[in-house]
C-alpha cells in the first residue's frame, strides 16, 4: 500500500475570544450570571440559587421566629432573581431550573439512547463503558439473540456470550434503570439497538448532545469537492452516512448500511454490500465519514449543540469553505483529499465554518 506524506499545515493562533462574544453566547452561562430576573413560580435546582438582598433583618432576636418574618423571607425569595453557581447549560423540567455542568460525566436517565464499549464479560452480564462514574451493566436476559429469536436464555447461551459480544465491541443500547449507587442497567429492545459494525468513534461532553426523540440518523453528506472536479452548486453529489448520537457523549459514525441492527451483529465496511462498490466510492465514503466526525468535534469545541440539523449545516458549510479554499491560486491545501480530512483542524477555518452554522441555525 503506497504511503503519501503531505506537508505540514502552517501553525495558526487565532485571536483571543472577546468577552462580548462570550456573553452573547446564550448556550453557556457563567457563575454569578442572572438566569431569571423574577423567579416567583420557579424552583431552584442544581447549580442555581436566589438572593434575598432586599430583606430587612429584625432588630430584636425574639422576632426571628415570628410568622411575619418568615412570610417576609418567603416573599422576598420568590420575588428575587435567580443566579447560576456553575458554568454550564440551563435545563428546565416543568418549573424546576438547574444548570448542567459542561465537563460533568453522564449521570443517566431512563429511556436515553447511549453508545458504549464492552469492557468486560462476567457471569450472565457484560460491563459497558458509558462515560459515567461506574460501568453500565447489560444482563444476558436483556439482549436479543442473533436473528431476533425470542426465548429464555440457557446455559449454552451463557457459555457463548463472547460470540455475541466481546471486549472492545461498540454497542447502542437504552437505559433501563438507574441504581442508587449511580450505575446504569442497560437493555436492547427492538431493532434500534445492537452491536455496531465498523465505523468511526468520537467522544464529546454529554452536555453537548441535544436530547431528541430519535438519536439514530442517516445523513446525506456532500461529497468532497476535490474528489469530483465537475461539482457545482446546482448539482452536488452526496454520500449516505450513518450517525448515532449517544446521550452519554459517545458518537458513532459509519456507513449507512451499518444502521441495520435488526440481527444485532452490525455491518462491516468490507461486507458483501461493499464488494459491488468501486474503490472511488469506498474512498468517498471514508472521506464523508471523516467529514462528519470532524464536524461533530468542531461543534462540541465551539459550544454549539450537536444534533442532526447542526451536523448537516456544518457539513454543508465545510463543503462551501473547502470549495473556496481550493479555488484560491495559492491554497495551502496541496491535495484535494488532504483538504477533505484535515480542513476543520485549522482554527481559522473552523471559526468561519461555525459562524456560518450559527447564522443558519439562528444561534
pLDDT at 347: 81
Please give the Cα distance from 129 to 246 (Å, whole number).
Answer: 12
Alpha helices in the chain (DSSP H): 19-24, 67-79, 155-159, 161-164, 272-275, 279-301, 308-327, 336-342, 347-361
pLDDT at 27: 61
**What DSSP element (H or E) covers 206?**
none
pLDDT in tens, the chain (363 residues): 455 443 433 333 333 333 333 333 346 788 988 888 776 678 888 889 887 654 455 545 455 556 665 565 555 555 678 889 988 888 888 888 888 888 888 988 899 999 999 999 998 999 999 999 999 999 998 888 766 666 778 888 888 888 888 999 999 999 999 998 889 999 988 778 888 888 899 999 998 898 888 899 999 888 766 544 455 555 667 888 999 999 999 999 998 877 765 444 454 555 545 556 777 788 888 888 988 998 999 999 888 889 999 999 998 888 888 777 777 655 555 555 555 556 667 788 888 888 888 888 887
pLDDT at 19: 37
Q: What is the DSSP letter of 142?
A: G
Cα 311–239–230 angle (5° rounding)?
Answer: 110
Say what the pTM is. 0.75
CB neighbour class for 339 (10 Å; exposed up to 12, middle 13-18, buried from 19): buried
Residue 159: what are its φ and ψ, rounded to 5°? -75, -25
Amino acid at each position: 500500500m503506497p504511503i503519501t506524506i503531505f506537508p505540514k499545515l502552517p501553525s495558526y493562533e487565532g485571536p483571543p475570544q472577546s468577552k462580548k462574544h462570550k456573553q452573547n453566547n446564550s448556550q453557556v452561562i457563567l457563575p454569578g450570571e442572572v438566569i431569571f430576573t423574577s423567579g416567583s413560580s420557579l424552583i431552584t435546582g442544581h447549580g442555581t440559587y436566589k438572593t434575598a438582598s432586599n430583606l430587612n433583618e429584625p432588630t430584636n432576636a425574639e422576632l426571628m421566629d415570628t410568622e411575619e418574618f418568615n412570610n417576609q423571607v418567603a416573599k422576598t425569595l420568590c420575588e428575587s432573581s435567580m443566579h447560576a453557581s456553575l458554568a454550564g447549560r440551563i435545563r428546565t423540567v416543568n418549573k424546576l431550573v438547574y444548570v448542567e455542568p459542561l465537563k460533568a460525566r453522564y449521570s443517566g436517565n431512563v429511556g436515553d439512547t447511549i453508545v458504549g464499549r464492552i469492557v468486560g464479560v462476567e457471569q450472565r452480564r457484560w460491563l459497558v463503558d458509558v462515560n459515567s462514574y461506574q460501568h453500565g451493566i447489560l444482563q444476558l436476559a436483556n439482549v436479543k439473540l442473533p436473528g431476533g429469536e425470542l426465548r429464555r436464555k440457557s446455559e449454552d447461551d451463557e457459555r457463548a456470550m463472547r460470540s455475541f459480544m466481546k471486549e472492545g465491541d461498540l454497542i447502542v443500547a437504552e437505559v433501563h434503570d438507574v441504581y442508587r449507587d449511580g450505575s446504569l442497567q442497560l437493555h436492547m429492545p427492538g431493532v434500534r439497538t445492537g452491536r455496531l459494525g465498523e465505523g468511526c468513534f468520537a467522544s464529546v461532553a454529554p452536555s453537548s448532545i441535544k436530547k431528541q426523540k430519535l438519536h439514530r440518523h442517516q445523513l446525506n453528506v456532500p461529497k468532497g469537492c476535490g474528489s469530483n472536479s465537475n461539482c457545482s452548486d446546482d448539482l452536488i453529489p452526496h454520500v449516505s452516512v450513518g450517525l448515532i448520537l449517544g446521550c452519554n457523549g459517545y458518537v458513532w459514525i459509519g456507513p449507512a448500511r451499518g444502521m441495520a441492527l435488526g440481527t444485532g451483529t452490525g455491518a462491516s465496511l468490507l461486507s458483501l454490500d461493499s464488494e459491488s462498490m468501486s474503490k472511488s466510492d469506498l474512498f468517498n465514503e471514508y472521506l464523508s465519514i471523516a467529514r462528519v466526525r470532524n464536524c461533530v468535534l468542531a461543534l462540541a469545541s465551539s459550544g454549539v449543540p450537536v444534533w442532526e440539523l447542526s451536523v448537516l449545516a456544518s457539513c454543508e458549510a465545510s463543503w462551501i469553505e473547502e470549495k473556496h479554499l481550493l479555488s484560491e491560486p495559492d491554497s495551502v491545501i496541496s491535495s484535494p483529499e488532504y483538504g477533505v480530512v484535515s480542513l476543520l483542524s485549522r482554527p481559522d477555518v473552523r471559526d468561519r465554518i461555525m459562524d456560518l452554522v450559527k447564522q443558519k441555525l439562528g444561534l
